[in-house]
Amino acid sequence: MQIVNVILRHSLTLNLVQKFREHMGAKVPLLDKEGGPKGGVVPLLGSTIPISFSAGLDSNNMANCVAMNFIPVTTCTDLLRPGGYARLIRYLEKLGEKMHAVGAARLPDFVVRYAGQGLAAIDRVTQDLNDSLRAQFAGAHPEQIGRVQSWLEAEVAMPLKAWVGARHGVPLRAVCQQIAANFAGVGAQGDAPLPAVMADALRGAIAGLEQALLDAAGLLNTPLLVKEATENPRYAWEQNKGVPRKIGSKLWLYDCINCDKCVPVCPNVANFVYETTGVNVTYDNFELPPEGPPQRVPGGVFKVAKVHQLANYADACNDCGNCDVFCPEDGGPYVEKPRFFGSLETYRKYAGRNGFYIAFEGDQTTIYGAIAGASYQLSLNPLIDRAWFSNGNAEVEIQPSRDVVVSWKLKPEISATRYKLDMLPYLQLKLLVESIRDPRRVNFANVKGLSGDRVIG
């Protein structure tokens, strides 16, 4: 449900952004002609509070969010869909297409030009400059105020409006830099030169002209693009009310319906495929007496029906649960399927009820395993047909070709009793080792044990 909810939240959050911007317009204090506080405030609509945005972001709506001047725009849930991080290229491709369509090579140019609000943004900024300077220097000579207003119209607004209409390759920054250069010396010209404090205030405003235009355009674009998203059926309930289908069966350590949906939907590529051999054996357990040979007792049936199996590399998994969302069965692949760790340290720290670590030591392979919360250890050496299995109560030597106990050692507190050894965990670990260490399929769990020539071959 998390993906559906985020898609629905996209238009809701955009509307919240619009309301926030409407009520949080920046203000600047009124100053007297000497630059001291005069009391009161005047709106400066070209300034904004920076907003980061991520709700429901994907390649289809990223450009609109950029055009609203969100810094930064981020994405998360979309990367939990099939394709994961590979989906990001479409973000840049679609943004690039829209930037090219309006003749913008830089993001500020795109924000100002994208939604057709460039001219309005220029009017807004120049008016803000007029209002703020008039408010700050209300006692200045009328000719000085008039000179500033005329200069703003002729040397600021007109070049910027020409740039918006031309849509050529000249960046907005270059136009703003030229405007700033043209202002040099203006404070000393004419019969009524501008006071230094007024010239400095105007010079400071011109220095921030590009940012002011970017902010104003982002604000002006907001209601238009919010309205577009609000009316888009893609974000409506009818398009998003469906939920992932479950079939009512539960996942286990081995076997599932093999839909493999958990592999591509993992953003960290933590889920992977491995192959095993089919197993359907009736096995015996063993009673281990204080003295004498072990005694066979009825055990159960160990069955693995499918060759194709799935596992999880826990060190790359952040427990986001996305594979559980897409999995038709219950339990979650990242929880129920074998979870392999990259080191014995991380296994011991995080294994929990299900986790494994495989150590490769020449011809001998050791697997540490937690199954249903119980800890086990199995070392296999096929060259001498021997295995050593430990379950915390007993250390047992086994002949793996026949799965029979050869010798054992019990914990002191149970050594005087007839201890019953459950062979199912041994069989599960043995099959897991034999499957994972197969050099024909490289995966997270076996790559450490493969020599260079075996990988290449």
Alpha helices in 24-69 (DSSP H): 62-67
Does pLDDT of 453 surpass 60? no
Q: Cβ neighbours of residue 87 under 8 Å, at least 6 residues apart?
A: 58, 59, 78, 79, 81
pLDDT for 88 = 92
pLDDT digits (tens, 9 = 90+) for 130-185: 888 777 777 777 777 787 888 888 889 999 999 998 877 789 999 999 988 887 75
Query: To the nearest whole percent, how much of the chain has pLDDT over 70?
Result: 89
* 94-126 tens-digit pLDDT: 999 999 999 999 999 999 999 999 999 999 898
Is the pLDDT reported for residue 128 higher than 90?
no
pLDDT attached to residue 235: 85
Closest CA to 59 of 83, 31, 34: 83
H-helix or E-strand containing 49? none
Does 80 score more than 50 pLDDT? yes
What pLDDT does residue 192 have?
54
Asked if residue 56 has pLDDT above 50, the reply is: yes
What local confidence, expressed as pLDDT, does residue 390 receive? 96
Task: Please say if the pLDDT value at position 26 is more than 70.
Answer: no
Tokens 């030591």, residue? Answer: 361
pLDDT grade for 272, boundaries at 50, 70 and 90: very high
Residues 38, 43, 49, 53: what is their CA dihedral angle, to the nearest 10 degrees? 170
Between CA 394 and CA 174 the distance in angstroms is 78
Q: Check residue 186 and give its pLDDT.
A: 56
Domain boundaries, the chain: 2-235, 271-456
pLDDT of residue 356: 96
Ramachandran angles phi, psi of 287, nearest 5°:
-90, 130
The answer to whether 376 and 390 are in contact (CB under 8 A) is: yes
DSSP, residue by residue, 97-152: HHHHHTT-SSHHHHHHHTTS-HHHHHHHHHHHHHHHHHHHTTTS-HHHHHHHHHHI
